[in-house]
Amino acid sequence: MYAKTEQGSRKKWNFPKNHLSMHLFDDIEAKGVTRNFNTKPNEKMHGPLKETYQLRTNFKNVAEQILRIDHYQLQELLMELTTNPRRDFFTLS
């Protein structure tokens, strides 16, 4: 945020105000983020969680169900890695 120059004043006020940073995080928490930024690139990482939520839960006690499904998936991965130790871990999808 920049201050405007008064009519007839020779002093330049074209510099950022240091006081702004003191309230910046409180303002973001109170009012939300600005409309000038996009969060869509980060939304892709929620895809598997969204799929699990929509397709495999009954929308009640969701956290418990998702944790159980995640536990099953990790068990499957562990069994696959122990039964086929030559398979590269990073090729799993």
Confidence band for 45, pLDDT divided at 50, 70 and 90: confident
Distance of alpha carbon 70 from alpha carbon 49, whole angstroms: 9
Under 8 Å between Cβ of 56 and 65: yes
Distance of alpha carbon 69 from alpha carbon 77, whole angstroms: 12
With a cut of 70, say whether residue 5 has pLDDT above it.
Answer: no
Under 8 Å between Cβ of 70 and 57: no
| Better pLDDT: 65 or 20 | 65
Confidence band for 66, pLDDT divided at 50, 70 and 90: confident
Please report, rounded to a whole number, the percentage of residues in the chain having pLDDT higher than 70.
73
Under 8 Å between Cβ of 63 and 54: no
